[in-house]
Amino acid sequence: MKISIVKIGGNVIDYPEKLDEFLSIFAKILGFKILVHGGGVMASRFGESMGIMPEMVDGRRITDKDTLDIVTMVFAGLISKSVVAKLQALKVNALGMSGVDGNLIRSTKRPFKEIDFGFVGDIKEVNVVLLQQLLQAGMIPVVNAITHDKKGQLLNTNADSIASAIATTLSKVYPVDLYFCFNKSGVLVDEKNDQSIIPLINEDIYNELRKENVIHSGMIPKLDNAFEALKQGVQRVWIGKAENLLMAVKGKKAGTIIERQRYELY
Amino acid sequence: MKISIVKIGGNVIDYPEKLDEFLSIFAKILGFKILVHGGGVMASRFGESMGIMPEMVDGRRITDKDTLDIVTMVFAGLISKSVVAKLQALKVNALGMSGVDGNLIRSTKRPFKEIDFGFVGDIKEVNVVLLQQLLQAGMIPVVNAITHDKKGQLLNTNADSIASAIATTLSKVYPVDLYFCFNKSGVLVDEKNDQSIIPLINEDIYNELRKENVIHSGMIPKLDNAFEALKQGVQRVWIGKAENLLMAVKGKKAGTIIERQRYELY
């Protein structure tokens, strides 16, 4: 059976109405599915209310001990359990998990180079057997961005990377589609025009667009990540707005599809 | 196979050294096992650092919306994931869960009588099939005190009650022993003398002791809870200090054993 892996971030999590709308869409996706979530803004807000200010470098959070406690509380506690409660109410048998639970994701602390990111994890291994057991038992994993090093240390991990790692690992066993929901309607020709969606990108098109400087710099890590997932066996990657997810799953025109090989547009 | 269900509270959770000692003991318990934890002191401390003061009535926390967020963050986030990470490092394949995950525990919001406890849950149902699936798959559930009403609402629930409810539900399928770790060496004749342990209590002895006012009032809910679990099918209940748990599991003299029927003392 095909598996849909969907990643959402703060632009959905932080707005109760958007979250409810998204979850009702997610509930309608047929077949095996896994939800991966971040939740950065909420973590920053709770940290600030406790006098701990967020420190970001290149969009990545510096994670000292106090910050690790806060992201663990917010991601694996408040957000995970609220999302699972809402999904359970929608009759989706969700199970909230961090990478430590059942040793789902083992990572290692990022080595100190120019910047010490602190307790930040780079993913080493995804427990594919556990995911298969849970999916086969009818459960829908809801995975947050806290992983561990198997030596007792929790590590804050990038949620996009978690979604990609789960997708590539499962792609050895099942056909996998990977959906990234973010705050734009897709990859755009003009960042200021949310209608200027590029409907399909493959490696040829990507190289062409980069040569012409069409791709906004903020999109490059996302797209590199997507192509890496495709190389590892994921069938297709989608980038777009959460509210268009169901259209995308059903193969209708919405957002940007990223594929290895060129094929007919829609 | 026999199942051991162990409940720990703040007197273990709040002290890193005690927690590490306890977890190394828990790791040594053979057979199926489940850990249930509270963690009240840590929740109060985090709440206070955010300007939210704990409000207790008869030892039970009044749970308004802010307090519910805090206990969800602390119990289901920080404590759950820290404990699971430590167990994983000890090669115990732990999986942290709240009652909402996989619909493990459904509860209902306690009705408003004299006191409005807020978002506090009374347990209605334990998902025995899920526990069997997880145990059979080699996982060790680590269960925290957050449950849900299956309508999207999280509820703060008494951890002793969760341990009892899991034990009684599983006792329909497996032989179950239930272990309550607390801050005394057992049920004591003299509250001030931690050596004055009553090694065995059954209903006859309990009635006798209550008649003579030997049982301290704080122990009565714990013992009533224990006898209820025994009536529902649990084989034996143990009350004592976390550091004596392994002795108790091995049948050695430690703490207080509570059984329905009188039998030979040790």
Range with the poorest average pLDDT among A21-35, A42-56, A168-182: A42-56
Torsion of CA B207, B209, B212, B218, to 10 degrees: -100
CA distance B95 to chain A (A): 4
Q: Tell me the residue type at B61.
A: R
A3-185 — its CATH code? 3.40.1160.10
The full set of domain ranges for chain B reads 3-258
* Alpha carbon of residue A144 to chain centroid: 9
Task: Report whether pLDDT(B74) > 60.
Answer: yes
The CA radius of gyration of chain B, in Å to the nearest whole number, is 18
The packing angle between helices B159-170 and B220-231, to 10°, is 20
Question: Per CB distance under 8 Å, which residues of B are interface residues toward A?
Answer: 46, 49-51, 69, 72-78, 80-82, 84-86, 88-89, 93-98, 100-103, 130, 133, 137, 139, 146, 148, 150-154
Q: Is the pLDDT of residue B264 over 50?
A: no
Provide the whole-model pTM.
Answer: 0.94
Name which of A37, A20, A85, A32 is nearest A249 in CA terms: A32
Chain B residues near residue A75 by CB distance under 8 angstroms: 77
Query: Is the predicted ipTM greater than 0.90, yes or no?
Result: yes
Give the pairing type, strands A256-258 and A236-240.
Answer: antiparallel
Task: Return the residue in A24, A45, A46, A73 with the most chain B beta carbons within 10 A, the one to mutate for interface testing.
Answer: A73
Query: Is the model's pLDDT at A59 over the cut of 80?
Result: no
Type of residue found at B13: I
Q: What is the pLDDT of residue B218?
A: 80
pLDDT bracket for residue A266 (50, 70, 90) = very low
- Give the model confidence (pLDDT) of B177-193 as tens digits: 999 999 999 999 988 89
Note whether B202 and B261 are within 8 A (CB).
yes
Alpha helices in chain A (DSSP H): 10-13, 16-28, 40-49, 65-71, 80-89, 128-136, 159-170, 203-211, 220-231, 245-249
Mean pLDDT lowest among A5-14, A57-66, A186-195, B143-152: A57-66
**CA-angle at A170, arms to A169 and A175, nearest 5°:** 130
Q: pLDDT band at A54, cuts 50/70/90? A: confident
Nearest in space to A4 (alpha carbons), one of A27, A17, A20, A19: A27
Give the helix ranges, DSSP H, for chain B: 10-13, 16-28, 40-49, 65-71, 80-89, 128-136, 159-170, 203-211, 220-231, 245-249
Q: What is the average pLDDT value for chain B, to the nearest integer? A: 92
Tell if the CB–CB gap between A151 and B89 is shorter than 8 Å: yes
- Residue linked to tokens 């209902």: B108
With CB atoms and an 8 Å threshold, state whether B80 touches A80. no
The contact set of A with B (CB < 8 A) is 46, 49-51, 69, 72-78, 80-82, 84-86, 88-89, 93-98, 100-103, 130, 133, 137, 139, 146, 148, 150-154
Q: Per CATH, the architecture of B3-258 is what?
A: 3-Layer(aba) Sandwich (3.40)
